[in-house]
Structure 1
């Protein structure tokens, strides 16, 4: 069995992958995540997932490397990570009562055979009407400034949802485990 590398510095992705009870090493791929001009969100997340996985091939030449990237989209526009309280507040005000789509790109790269599997998993979130006070409390408690669309679904962010649609709730959290299990099985890694 080839050793598994998670090309990510995200604690959220690391915690998700730990659910599969497999041994892995998490390493930051350190890539440029700037969107390309006119790039669609689905294509961007796949490109970045591939780039993250392939960025580590010089260090890990005989491994299975997992890359993942997520964006939140509203009205066809990428929302991104807010990084500040003010931007997070505005993002949440903008999606109040509306539906946004999270796209999560996933790549599994076999650095020994150069076999690449890649996919993009969409997940739709329908938001409740959000009051300024609720948004302020949420931001003060959760501090989701490193989360796409300012939503930490594994925490209090779930309180803002009216409904969800998608094939894999873990895609909303940044690493689609259902699709990853399929990819790992294609590489003869059986889970559990």
Structure 2
């Protein structure tokens, strides 16, 4: 049995991966998630997804490690995790009535011997249009949900859906943090089977 590891402490990513009905472990990677100078949002997300997988792989030989990262961008500026109420409110004020690109990067690192695809990476872009809501509504939303650990300050799987006008993506799970359509393709490439035939 191949050992599957999710390189994340995110409860949202764990819940998504559990849908595939594989046994897996979650290990949080310790690394600096700051963007590098001159790096595009897509490049940041792809680099961090891969770095998360590599950090965990160093101590987990023979495993398949899944790394993921998400970066939101508006007018070329990266919008990260706000960390607190004031920063989250500023983010939502900036994004109100606007369309924001969320880059959700995925890396599957196959750390087994003779792996057919040792490293697979992909960026899945989701376009999210936010509603034009008042400061009072945005403040009330933040006080209820407190999405301070989410890029863009909105949890689409929770009450955050009420501040969103539309979502455009090839993968409905990407915005939540783990693009399962892309992931299932990568795991198939690694030889994992989803069904017992």
Give the structure 1 partner of residue 77 of structure 2.
Answer: 77
**1:189 partner SS:** coil
Alignment partners' CA distance in 1, 2:15 and 2:131: 28
Give the structure 2 partner of residue 14 of structure 1.
Answer: 14
**2:58 partner SS:** coil
Pick the aligned partner of 2:159 from 146, 156, 160.
156
Alignment partners' CA distance in 1, 2:127 and 2:151: 13
Give the drift of 1:58.
2.4
Alignment partners' CA distance in 1, 2:75 and 2:89: 18
Correspondences of 1:4-153 after superposition (within 5 Å): 4-113=4-113, 115-153=118-156
Alignment partners' CA distance in 1, 2:107 and 2:82: 25
**2:38 partner SS:** coil
Give the structure 2 partner of residue 190 of structure 1.
Answer: 193
Q: Deviations over 1:140-164 (max 9, x none)?
A: 1100000001011110111111111
Alignment partners' CA distance in 1, 2:167 and 2:86: 26
Give the structure 1 partner of residue 174 of structure 2.
Answer: 171
**1:35 partner SS:** coil
Alignment partners' CA distance in 2, 1:164 and 1:13: 19
Counting matched residue pairs gives: 192
Q: Deviations over 1:7-64 (max 9, x none)?
A: 0011111111111111000001111111111101111111100100010122210000
Alignment partners' CA distance in 2, 1:184 and 1:56: 18
Q: Which sections of structure 2, spanning at least 5 residues, go unmatched?
A: none
**1:82 partner SS:** coil
Between 143-152 and 113-122, report the one with greater CA deviation: 113-122
Q: Which sections of structure 1, spanning at least 5 residues, go unmatched?
A: none
Give the drift of 1:131.
1.0
- The TM-score normalised by the length of structure 1 is 0.97
Alignment partners' CA distance in 2, 1:29 and 1:132: 36
Say what the alpha-carbon RMSD is for the aligned residues. 1.0
Give the drift of 1:191.
2.2
